[in-house]
Chain A
Amino acid sequence: MSRIRVSILGGSGYTGGELMRLLLFHPMVEISQIASGSQAGHFVHSAHPNLRKICTLRFCHPDDLTTCDILFLCLPHGVSSGEIARYRALAPRVIDLSGDFRLRSPELYRRWYGHEHLAPELLPEAVYGLPELHRGELAEAALVSGTGCMATTSILGLAPLYRAGIVNQALPLVVEAKVGSSAAGAKAGPSSHHPDRSGAVRSFEPTGHRHTAELIQELGQLDGGAELKQIVAFSATAVELVRGILVTAHVFLHEQLEEKAIWRIFREAYQREAFIRLVKERNGVYRYPEPKILAGSNYCDVGFEVDLEQRRVVVMAALDNLMKGAAGNGVQALNCMLGWDETLGLTFPGLHPA
């Protein structure tokens, strides 16, 4: 069987580099072109030094992209929606890893992004590219969105509880996400200057984070189809990691449920998922999800603890923001779209110690 031809636009950033790292070893993919406005003409390894002697491609200019089977867009948020017709003319199927096509509702987009969407007519068509929730739709999709890294972590941690209908939505959902520096992208700024960023535990978006909208959309769909009406109190904190996210979420239940019942719900939801692992151990060092051991892997580890008296479940979920939070999840979505084994190109188990 011949390999499919994949091209990447916006390939000089961290997500583009991670996609290259994965797709170069994907048995069903041939990388056709990788484009970058800022790096055109340079070798790929000049931006992604881990790919030296693995990839001899050079970045092309975005205007020089030719047709391919699948086009990945790794552009800054707000760019792809303005040029989407041009990009879709290059490939019958497009995977946009930016935030532009994650939301189905133009109104929800306006509320959380603060401006009108540039191609609102395409929002209903785009598929939210989280295979664990949208596997069936991905098989037929022509336009697939990436998923927000902190949103992915939160949604995968919480989805089983919402699907089970046990969450009391009269009380708020409280989510705190701790995230590493690579989530801020490859472009440096004053906030990423080493003396300021190193060692920081920085609340950078205690309210108003855009990933909240993805929780409202996706958890709402699991709980009856409409947007979530519950208050979602989401906050984000930058911590001393390069890769990794740890989400700690608090939900309150309609009734007291013992730990075994919650185990049952999570096990039922995830026992057949290749990339979701339940981590809740009585003993040892890694009793709950820990992003440190997930770097470079496509796993999302999910754990929980029950507070019977408060009818509260604390959900902990962790992943690598560049992998299951971006490029790895994109490759998993690609595998779904083509009807391949979802684990193709994604079998690296992470490092320990790391």
Chain B
Amino acid sequence: MTAQCPECEAAIDVQGLMVGEITFCPDCNAELEVINVEQPEVALAPEVEEDWGE
């Protein structure tokens, strides 16, 4: 149940996580979003953008 960190290729354990959940790489500390848990996949989490809403 491990995905690969897209930044440093460390093994990311996605067991117990849900799609869309945010996790962190234990090696490079990249903020990651869980994309798939069946076929484990994570992606770099989107950067927080400033909200200029009304």
Where the two chains meet, the residues of A that have a C-beta atom closer than 8 Å to any C-beta of B are 259-260, 263-264, 267, 278, 280-284
Contacts and interface: CB of A to CB of B under 8 A. Distances in A.
A71 B18 CA distance: 57
A283 B9 contact: no
B34 to A, nearest CB: 17
Contact of B29 (A264, A267, A284): A284
B27 to A, nearest CB: 6
Nearest to A287: B29
A282 B5 CA distance: 12
Contacts of A284: 29
A227 B7 CA distance: 36
A264 B30 contact: no
Contact of B31 (A259, A278, A283): A283
Interchain residue pairs A-B with the least CB separation, the first 3 = A281-B29, A263-B8, A282-B30
B10 to A, nearest CB: 8
A264 B27 CA distance: 12
A281 B28 contact: yes
8 contacts: A263-B8, A264-B9, A267-B9, A280-B28, A282-B28, A282-B29, A283-B29, A284-B29
A259 B8 contact: yes
A264 B9 CA distance: 8
Nearest to A283: B29
Nearest to A263: B8
Nearest to A261: B9
Contacts of B7: 259-260, 282
Contacts of B10: 263, 267
A304 B9 CA distance: 15
Contacts of A260: 7-9
B15 to A, nearest CB: 21
Contacts of B8: 259-260, 263, 280
B13 to A, nearest CB: 16
A263 B7 CA distance: 9
Given A260-B7, A264-B9, A283-B29, 12 more contacts: A260-B8, A263-B8, A263-B28, A267-B27, A280-B27, A280-B28, A281-B29, A282-B7, A282-B28, A282-B30, A283-B30, A283-B31
Contacts of A267: 9-10, 27
A267 B31 CA distance: 20
Contacts of A280: 8, 27-28
B1 to A, nearest CB: 19
Q: Which residue, A267, A282, A283, has most C-beta atoms of chain B within 10 A?
A: A282
A284 B24 CA distance: 12
Interface in B1-44: 7-10, 27-31
B33 to A, nearest CB: 14
B22 to A, nearest CB: 13
A16 B28 CA distance: 37
B45 to A, nearest CB: 11
